[in-house]
Homo-oligomer: A and B are copies of this chain.
């Protein structure tokens, strides 16, 4: 019953020293609260409390609120991007299939998890926190664009896709996915009726791949 368990949350009164685990616990708590309330509206007191420490402790590990946000981005999204790049490198089939698989992977690992809040936060709060937006764009946005650009290039070269402006098409592919999570966090809580994810995803893939495909080729 005494002193054997090092987990602070099991005994909120104790002041355990757990240098190793703190950063991950703090970023996890931060992500949760950022999802619930947004970045600017989340108080660092609350982040610290949810992680079972005081605000002072938070400042031992992160120099500022913005640095904490950057750490959340890094821990959350970089691994997913790496997976996507891996898929691209390994793939051998046609571009439609690769594109579909990348989208499904992103949907499963980001859209359907709390990580989906990160792009929402960036878009919402970049005006007041440009440094964070710049970091996101550099670490995540540009890598995602690179990845999609490569797939499109491949499909256009093989004649599978029509010739379209690549940068514009990258954004057009990304838009419905991003909007989906924006909707979830913005309008759904306020009563906007929206269909299920399944239908949305299928209609999106259908419309997109049909739009990209060279005319006259069937299926």
Chain A contact residues, CB within 8 Å of chain B:
37-38, 40-41, 122-128, 130, 133-134, 137, 141-142, 162, 164-165, 167-169, 171-172, 174-176, 178-180, 182-183, 185-187, 189-195, 199-200, 202-204, 206-208, 210-212, 215, 218
Contact A212 B203 (CB under 8 A): no
Neighbour of A168 across the interface among B41, B127, B128, B199, CB < 8 A: B199
A38 to B218, CA, bound (A): 47
List 4 additional contacts besides A123-B186, A168-B202; criterion CB under 8 Å: A37-B128, A41-B128, A179-B179, A211-B211
**Minimum CB distance partner of A38 in chain B:** B127
Neighbour of A212 across the interface among B133, B179, B187, B207, CB < 8 A: B207
A127 to B215, CA, bound (A): 43
Which B residues are in CB contact (< 8 Å) with A162? 210
What is the distance, in angstroms, from A119's C-beta to the closest C-beta of chain B? 10
Contact A183 B169 (CB under 8 A): no
Contact A171 B187 (CB under 8 A): no
